[in-house]
Amino acid sequence: MNQNDIAWVMAFLCESCFSFMWLLVTNVTWSPAEHKPYPDRLDERVHDLPSLDMFVSTADPVREPPIIVVNTVLSLLAVNYPPNKLACYVSDDGCSPLTYFSLKEAFKFAKIWVPFCKKYNVGVRAPFKYFLSPVVSSEDSEFSNDWNMMKREYENLSQKVEDATGDSHWFDADDDFEAFSNTKPTDHSTIVKVIWENKGGVGNEQEVPPFVYISREKQPSYVHHYKAGAMNFLVRVSGLMTNAPYMLDVDCDMYATDADAVRKAMCIFLEESMNPNHCAFVQYVCDSKAEGFNLLQSFLERGVAGIQGSVYTGSGCFHTRRVMYGLYPDDVEDNGSLSSVATRKLSAEKTLAEMFGISKELVKSAARALQRKANPQNNFTNSIEAATEVGNIHYEYQTSWGKTIGWLYDSILEDVNTCIAIHSRGWTSSLISSDPPSFKGCMPPIGPEAMLQKQRFSTGALEIFFNKQSPLIGMFQQKIRLRQWLVYLSITMSSLGSLPMLFYCLLPAYCLLHDSTLFPKGLWLGINLTFVGMHCIYTLWKFMRPGLSVDFWYPSFCGSLFSIFDITLKLLGISKTVFVVTKKTVPATKLGSKDGPPQRGDDSQVDDTLYLLPATFILLVNVAALADYLVGQQLWSHSDQRGGSGLAEASGCTFVAMLFLPVLKGRVLAAPKARDRRFKPLSLSLSLSLSLLHSMAPSAQSPLLTSEGDEKYANVKWEELGFALTPTDYMYVAKCKQGESFSQGKVVPLW
Ligand SMILES: O=c1ccn([C@@H]2O[C@H](COP(=O)(O)OP(=O)(O)O[C@H]3O[C@H](CO)[C@@H](O)[C@H](O)[C@H]3O)[C@@H](O)[C@H]2O)c(=O)[nH]1
Ligand SMILES: [Mn+2]
């Protein structure tokens, strides 16, 4: 194979991969759908609304400042829904007294915040966001007085949380914090604290729903399965205390912006046309602008929702407890009760104990949940002992938790992983896309944190690709629909697309360095350029439409590349995948500052040396190839007739270099205070890239010679020699007499 063939075969393979990916994505966008709920009509239809358990998970008081968790919790406690039908559970994987302290303070504030929100029908019920807009009312009105009082109270709350940060004397004096003494985030026993329980439970609108803080046991040598583990503990504790048929999962950094979010979700669950195949979960389209590169949310979600149902994206999602407990649609009768087969299968207490673990109380509550029966009236405090038991590190040993029930464990992308399992059982799901979005997040700014997050997503997706849920095999065994299966194939293998992308970015440079052709000539080049141009404009439009900058593309490309490396190490058994919690920025609380677009993350603690490597390498290779072309090959006398590389390849190189230049420019020209810190990673990646470049460039020996094994050959383009006379400097002479064989020949100079 000559150089041209290598380049063309590579180009063909890369193009084939892109086309396959494009087909997968096109399949997603064919039939977009979303649900439009009418919450006002809900009361006419349903007189006894079902209960809902709301889960918030947090893991690290430093990367997830408690004031963020407080705002999330307050936005949920104040939703428009009967408070006696709600309960809020916060799981703290950081076992932080500061988080617990902040939540206790938040409850005191909630006692005035919830009535205020309901009295004045406040829109956004996360106080930090609400107080960003000035009061629109006459100075001395009752509302304006209440507003000013609430704002002062919220500022007091924020101040208390800030003062308590890094100052443990706030907790030391209080016996309630005893459980936190001598604990480490990675080494402590289970803590369950009922911050507030609504003992009366008569459904007064002004009440604060029950509110519980939990932190499961941890030991350094035990795997705890990150968010999935935390969610399963939340399911168990809530099962013991309230056992609501529906559960809402919200990340600590995502607050509800719509007071009717719960009622809207119930509109879908309680649809009259409900059949056993009805919705397993309702996912909200969360505000993805801040999330940046998460394009799935912004336009693919609706597409998937039109097939078998939206994908669960980890936050802003309402689940049904029965489905999470492993039910199949066939297990449910048309009227919602369990089928007789399922009842027989599940009623044996032994089976349930094998699935749900040894806690008798939990087994009983699971049996009730499966039959849609409520827990008998019970004090929360009476369940603390049982709740502590189900938080034990050994509790899930030899049970179905994380395998067939609850959030699944075999990928750090637990949301998609769990969602595949639900759809594989034949359930459908729904999507609500309200404008403005009903849940909004504080997502990482563009920069290393975003790359780390993207790398985690991609590694998790690849983990699914190789686990037992893999879409590669799933299609043949499960009840998943064909196009839904293609969606999961596209999600789980999308990061593999970064490899052909990498090769493609290097291909024009390779051709220039080896003087071979990549693009066709003449008319064909024109056609080619038209298609490439159209594709570039289309891709740009796709990025710009949801209001993103092209900058967002890089974390996705780079994170995907690194995830391939991660998963290879995992498959070889060299390392394990880790869930690094994304750093959250504290929301602005000052009046007048607004929730603007994400900023570059210059205060990140993530060292971005390695993340800059692909960009630096690609840029250097392309610049080096261009320099070689301009200087070594003399651009202006270079003739395309030789069949080697020409202006088209050089333009390709320039295009690629221009794509990557902003990434590096952005990092080097970052805020001045960050520049010194940036310089070190940049110089390191420069040197790493230079050594890689050195190994990629053609051999640095005499330009006339190439080596293969031990032998030396003239560097001749054999296929271009033809039959015409070709002048040479040397000739091979071997003499022979008639009838005899040739003597040993030798190469002699011509003069
Ligand atoms: O050991 C852990 C790690 C994380 N979390 C919580 O999980 C949530 C998500 O973590 P975050 O760092 O914010 O990740 P994101 O990338 O923003 O989250 C998206 O992607 C994750 C999967 O990678 C999903 O778990 C999330 O729901 C989804 O919003 C947060 O509330 C964390 O507190 C835990 O409770 N325990
Ligand atoms: Mn998050």
SS (H, E, C) 302-348: HHHHCCCCCCCCCCCEEEEHHHHCCCCHHHECCCCCECHHHHHHHHC
d(CA 493, CA 719): 40
- Which residue ranges does the chain devote to CATH 3.90.550.10? 39-444
Which residue carries 């609706």 as its tokens?
302
SS3 category, 252? coil
- Testing ligand 1's pocket by substitution, the residue of 54, 57, 93 carrying the most ligand atoms inside 8 A of its CB is 57
- Residue nearest atom 20 in ligand 1 by C-alpha distance: 314
Instruction: Determine the distance separating the centroid of ligand 2 and the alpha carbon of 132, expressed in angstroms.
Output: 22
Binding-site residue set for UDP-alpha-D-glucose: 57, 64, 93
d(CA 690, CA 628): 15
Please give the backbone phi and psi of residue 279, each rounded to the nearest 5 degrees, phi first.
-55, 125
User: Which amino acid is present at 144?
Assistant: S
Instruction: Determine the distance separating the centroid of ligand 2 and the alpha carbon of 251, expressed in angstroms.
Output: 6
d(CA 490, CA 312): 15
Q: Is the dihedral of CA 461, 466, 472, 477 positive or negative?
A: negative
Tell me, using a 6 A CB cutoff, whether residue 582 lines ligand 1. Answer: yes
Task: Give me 104's structure tokens.
Answer: 């206790």
Contacts of 95 (CB under 8 A, 6+ apart): 180, 183, 184, 185, 188, 191, 215, 218
Contacts of 239 (CB under 8 A, 6+ apart): 321, 362, 365, 366, 369
Q: Is 32 exposed, middle or buried (0-12, 13-18, 19+ CB in 10 A)?
A: middle
Which residue carries 């046991």 as its tokens?
217
Say if strands 246-251 and 317-320 run parallel, antiparallel, or are unpaired.
antiparallel
Number of C-beta neighbours around residue 662 at 10 A: 14
**Which atom of ligand 1 lies nearest, measured to the CA of 291?**
17
- Residue nearest atom 32 in ligand 1 by C-alpha distance: 58
pLDDT averaged over consecutive 10-residue blocks of the chain (751 residues)? 78 92 88 88 88 96 93 96 95 95 96 95 93 76 91 95 82 83 92 88 80 96 94 97 96 93 94 72 77 54 90 94 93 84 77 92 93 84 94 95 95 94 92 87 72 88 90 75 90 90 91 83 84 80 65 76 86 82 69 40 56 86 88 53 70 87 63 46 61 55 39 54 66 78 75 54
- C-beta of residue 606 within 8 angstroms of C-beta of residue 492: no
d(CA 161, CA 79): 23
Q: Around ion ligand 2, which residues have CB less than 5 A away?
A: 251, 253
Which residue carries 């909630």 as its tokens?
110
d(CA 474, CA 422): 12
pLDDT for position 333: 86
pLDDT for position 715: 56
For helices 3-29 and 482-493, what crossing angle results, to 10°? 130
pLDDT for position 700: 39
Task: Please name which of 8, 23, 30, 34 lies closest in space to residue 494, comparing C-alpha atoms.
Answer: 23
Tell me, using a 6 A CB cutoff, whether residue 64 lines ligand 1. Answer: yes
Task: Give me 596's structure tokens.
Answer: 């603007």
Q: Is 477 exposed, middle or buried (0-12, 13-18, 19+ CB in 10 A)?
A: exposed
Give catalytic residue positions: 93, 415
Task: Give me 423's structure tokens.
Answer: 């759809």
Binding-site residue set: 57, 64, 93, 227, 251
**DSSP E strands: which ranges in 93-198?**
191-196
pLDDT for position 549: 61
pLDDT for position 191: 97
SS3 category, 360? helix
**Which atom of ligand 1 lies nearest, measured to the CA of 92?**
35
Binding-site residue set for Mn(2+): 227, 251
Tell me, using a 6 A CB cutoff, whether residue 418 lines ligand 1. Answer: no
Which secondary-structure segment (H or E) carries 467? Answer: none
Instruction: Determine the distance separating the centroid of ligand 1 and the alpha carbon of 60, expressed in angstroms.
Output: 11
User: Which amino acid is present at 120?
Assistant: Y
d(CA 474, CA 485): 8
Which residue carries 């070689």 as its tokens?
628
* Nearest-5° Cα angle at 341, 335 to 344: 110
SS3 category, 146? helix
Task: Give me 465's structure tokens.
Answer: 């690709």
For helices 340-347 and 349-356, what crossing angle results, to 10°? 70
d(CA 400, CA 189): 22
SS3 category, 212? strand
Please give the backbone phi and psi of residue 642, each rounded to the nearest 5 degrees, phi first.
-70, -10
Homologous superfamily of 39-444 in CATH? Spore Coat Polysaccharide Biosynthesis Protein SpsA; Chain A (3.90.550.10)
Tell me, using a 6 A CB cutoff, whether residue 226 lines ligand 1. Answer: yes
- Testing ligand 1's pocket by substitution, the residue of 227, 317, 464, 576 carrying the most ligand atoms inside 8 A of its CB is 227
d(CA 261, CA 633): 65
N residues, the chain = 751
pLDDT for position 695: 56
pLDDT for position 660: 82
Instruction: Determine the distance separating the centroid of ligand 2 and the alpha carbon of 392, expressed in angstroms.
Output: 26
Instruction: Determine the distance separating the centroid of ligand 1 and the alpha carbon of 315, expressed in angstroms.
Output: 9
Mean pLDDT, rounded, of the chain: 82
d(CA 564, CA 574): 14
**Which atom of ligand 1 lies nearest, measured to the CA of 444?**
17
Contacts of 45 (CB under 8 A, 6+ apart): 270, 272
Q: What are residue 213's DSSP bridge partners?
A: 90, 193
pLDDT for position 684: 59
d(CA 483, CA 610): 37
Task: Please name which of 443, 417, 408 lies closest in space to residue 231, comparing C-alpha atoms.
Answer: 408
Instruction: Determine the distance separating the centroid of ligand 1 and the alpha carbon of 314, expressed in angstroms.
Output: 8
ipTM above 0.85, yes or no: yes
**DSSP one-letter string for 614-637:** HHHHHHHHHHHHHHIIIIITTGGG
Q: Is 74 exposed, middle or buried (0-12, 13-18, 19+ CB in 10 A)?
A: buried
Tell me, using a 6 A CB cutoff, whether residue 311 lines ligand 1. Answer: no
Tell how far CA 565 is from the center of its chain: 17
Task: Please name which of 243, 254, 337 lies closest in space to residue 73, comparing C-alpha atoms.
Answer: 254
Q: Is 455 exposed, middle or buried (0-12, 13-18, 19+ CB in 10 A)?
A: buried
Task: Give me 468's structure tokens.
Answer: 């037992």
CA of 456, nearest ligand number: 1
Tell me, using a 6 A CB cutoff, whether residue 253 lines ligand 1. Answer: yes
d(CA 129, CA 70): 12
* Nearest-5° Cα angle at 677, 671 to 681: 115
**Which atom of ligand 1 lies nearest, measured to the CA of 60?**
33
Going from the C-alpha of 172 to that of each of 108, 178, 189, 447, 696, the distances in angstroms are: 20, 8, 19, 38, 61
Tell how far CA 448 is from the center of its chain: 14
d(CA 645, CA 516): 5
Task: Give me 359's structure tokens.
Answer: 């806690």
d(CA 13, CA 591): 55
Tell me, using a 6 A CB cutoff, whether residue 291 lines ligand 1. Answer: no
